[in-house]
Amino acid sequence: MKAILTWHSIDASGSVISTPPEVFAAQVDWLTSGRVRVVSLPNLVALPEQDDAVALTFDDGFANFATHAAPRLFDRGLAATLFVVTDRVGLTNDWGGYPEAGIPSLPLLGWSELGHLVEAGVDVGSHSRSHADLGILQGPKLADEVAGSAERIVAELGQRPRVFAYPYGTVSDAATHEVERVFEWACLADLRAVRSTDHRTRLPRIDMYYLRNLRTLDAWGSVTFQAYFAIRQALRGPRQRLRTTLRRRRMARPPAGGKSPA
Ligand SMILES: [Zn+2]
pLDDT at 73 over 50: yes
Share of the chain above pLDDT 70, in %: 96
Give the domain ranges of the chain.
Answer: 2-258
CATH topology of domain 2-258: TIM Barrel (3.20.20)
Where are the alpha helices (H) located in the chain, listed in sequence order? 21-31, 41-46, 63-64, 70-76, 111-119, 139-157, 173-182, 214-218, 223-252
Per the CB < 8 A criterion, the answer to whether 86 and 153 are in contact is: yes
> In angstroms, what is the span from residue 1 Cα to ligand 1's centroid?
25
Q: Looking at residue 254, what is its pLDDT?
A: 58
Per the CB < 8 A criterion, the answer to whether 22 and 69 are in contact is: no
Where are the alpha helices (H) located in 91-138, listed in sequence order? 111-119
Q: What's the one-letter identity of residue 176?
A: T
> In angstroms, what is the span from residue 21 Cα to ligand 1's centroid?
19
> In angstroms, what is the span from residue 95 Cα to ligand 1's centroid?
9
* Residue scoring higher pLDDT (250 or 15): 15
> In angstroms, what is the span from residue 247 Cα to ligand 1's centroid?
14
- Arithmetic mean of pLDDT, 162-180: 95
> In angstroms, what is the span from residue 166 Cα to ligand 1's centroid?
8
pLDDT tens per residue, range 98-126 = 778 889 999 999 999 999 999 999 999 99
> In angstroms, what is the span from residue 53 Cα to ligand 1's centroid?
24
